[in-house]
């Protein structure tokens, strides 16, 4: 009897598996290290020490001070705390700037504020999915609260010019936030290089568990909490700390820092190989996103004459994502891709392929073969 192998996993932008070393670091704090970090006895002190060690690790990866790291439940909470927290702390500021291709965890808080009277400026992107910094500069105002711009797009991998935008905004005394969930652990992300005031991390995008994240809050930046409760995490993310998961995030950040450039080069080589194999076999295959300013692990392509969902339905040996979403049985093209100028047919034909630490060259060769065959049969 043959053993059926799990599909090749090329959906690391959706979530990453928990790294074995991350898991091992967490286990003691799911067992004997159960103390509440706010308790003054030995159990609590051990837990508090573990949280602070992890804070050092996150700060080390980002290049910031430990007192600028706030642990959260993930990227969504971090984005909400940054955007809504800044608005609550500065009620006199009534203008907000973002891009047309943000993740819902940014887009929806911006809409929430728009419904409550703030004016939100949605900056378009070009055909590569990139925002023009000058377009942002032209709409900066004296009452602009914040510019929030993702560092790397979750669908195409396109890297945004956050540093250039930050320099323009800071010239007017305006705060800058970046959702760096897809970027941290894949490319160097240093807060002083980016010059941002607020930066969001999601643990499950860099081999930590789901349900843990962090927000960098530059010293001196005022935020009001979105959640109300105890004084944990400076009162910005109240609630008893999830010690085991915080430990996992810290270990994941240490692993990322140790081999960031080497692993990025390896993954870029795999992605380039995948593009070469697919484009040679599929005439008219379209690459979506910037050709060079793109995450090293991400390849978004549109197959001609076939829906990405139909192609993936025929790929039992491959796990990946399409460029569309299904709502109540109706397929809707990706807003990111349509904002980039793709036709509906091109957007429906999109598939996002994202490699990770465990991906091998053999995986790439098999995946390319599976995709080409599925396209031919669609």
CB neighbours of 290 closer than 8 A, spacing ≥ 6?
A: 128, 129, 130, 156, 157, 158, 159
Other C-beta atoms lying within 10 Å of the C-beta of residue 273: 15
Assess contact for 131 and 159: CB atoms under 8 A.
Answer: no
Nearest to 109 by CA among 125, 118, 183: 118
Assess contact for 214 and 78: CB atoms under 8 A.
Answer: yes
Burial bucket for residue 44 (CB in 10 Å: 0-12, 13-18, 19+) = middle
DSSP E strands: which ranges in 149-306? Answer: 175-179, 198-202, 213-217, 286-288, 298-302
State the Cα–Cα distance between residues 316 and 322, nearest whole angstrom.
15
Element (H, E) at 354: strand 350-354
Q: Is 364 helix (H, G, I), strand (E, B) or coil?
A: helix
Active-site positions read 326
Please tell me the total number of residues recorded for the chain in this structure.
Answer: 378
DSSP E strands: which ranges in 100-212? Answer: 119-123, 144-148, 175-179, 198-202
Longest dimension (CA), the chain: 71
Q: How many CA atoms lie within 13 A of 221 on its CB side?
A: 30
State the Cα–Cα distance between residues 336 and 163, nearest whole angstrom.
21
Burial bucket for residue 173 (CB in 10 Å: 0-12, 13-18, 19+) = exposed
According to DSSP, the β-strands at 350-354 and 321-322 are antiparallel
Nearest to 201 by CA among 364, 76, 48, 49: 76
DSSP track, 167-182: HHHHTTT-EEEEE-TT
């Amino acid at each position: 009897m043959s053993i059926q192998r799990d599909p090749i996993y090329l959906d690391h932008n959706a979530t990453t598996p928990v790294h074995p070393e991350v898991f091992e670091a967490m286990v003691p704090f799911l067992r004997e290290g159960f103390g509440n970090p706010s308790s003054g006895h030995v159990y609590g002190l051990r837990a508090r020490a573990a949280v602070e060690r992890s804070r050092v690790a996150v700060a080390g990866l980002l290049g910031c001070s430990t007192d600028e790291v706030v642990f959260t439940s993930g990227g969504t909470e971090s984005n909400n705390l940054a955007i809504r927290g800044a608005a609550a702390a500065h009620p006199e500021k009534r203008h907000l700037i973002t891009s047309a291709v943000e993740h819902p965890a940014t887009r929806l808080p911006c809409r929430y504020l728009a419904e409550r009277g703030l004016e939100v400026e949605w900056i378009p992107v070009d055909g590569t999915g990139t925002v023009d910094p000058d377009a942002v500069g032209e709409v900066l105002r004296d009452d602009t609260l914040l510019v929030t711009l993702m560092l790397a797009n979750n669908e195409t991998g396109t890297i945004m010019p956050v540093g250039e935008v930050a320099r323009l905004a800071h010239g007017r005394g305006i705060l800058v936030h970046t959702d760096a969930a897809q970027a941290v652990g894949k490319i160097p992300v240093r807060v002083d290089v980016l010059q941002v005031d607020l930066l969001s991390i999601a643990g499950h995008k860099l081999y930590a568990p789901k349900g843990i994240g962090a927000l960098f809050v530059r010293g001196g930046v005022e935020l009001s909490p979105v959640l109300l409760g105890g004084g944990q995490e400076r009162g910005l993310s109240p609630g008893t700390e999830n010690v085991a998961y915080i430990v996992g995030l810290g270990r994941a950040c240490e692993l990322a820092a140790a081999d960031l450039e080497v692993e990025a080069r390896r993954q870029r080589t795999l992605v380039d190989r995948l593009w070469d194999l697919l484009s040679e076999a599929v005439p008219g295959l379209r690459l979506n996103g910037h050709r060079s300013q793109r995450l090293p692990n991400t390849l978004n392509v549109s197959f001609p004459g076939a829906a990405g969902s139909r192609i993936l339905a025929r790929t039992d040996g491959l796990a990946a994502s399409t460029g569309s979403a299904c709502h109540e049985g109706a397929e809707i093209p990706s807003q990111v891709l349509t904002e980039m100028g793709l036709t509906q047919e091109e957007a429906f034909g999109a598939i996002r392929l994202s490699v990770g630490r465990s991906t091998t060259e053999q995986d790439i060769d098999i995946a390319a073969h599976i995709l080409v065959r599925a396209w031919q049969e669609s």
